[in-house]
Structure 1
């Protein structure tokens, strides 16, 4: 392997890593903004174990119980 080939491979690898990081940051910001606009209260667990005010399929494990009405 020549120095030129090694340098091109390293630059390509670095560019892919940076692009992946930047796209992950964008996706996190995009969906966090959409999620906060769609929910009116914080996520909570009702007495029957169902989730309220949570738009994503995955939910936080230690979410608080919903207040009694």
Structure 2
């Protein structure tokens, strides 16, 4: 179930919502001012921790025969 971030072009309110299809996206409105003029934002992906432990763990070769 995809969650997208949007910003209202009228009141500048940012919000997240579930979007099942392009039809759902067309009917979106700002939850603060009810305006239909919303813009999808680029979301950044984040995860807990860092890759440092994974990259230096020595686990596996990633299918590269030990040359990765």
TM range (shorter): under 0.3
More helix by share: 1
The TM-score with structure 1 as length reference comes to: 0.26
Larger radius of gyration: 1
Q: Which has the higher strand share?
A: 2
Using structure 2 for the length normalisation, give the TM-score: 0.26
| Higher-RCO chain (CA-CA 8 Å, sequence separation at least 6) | 2
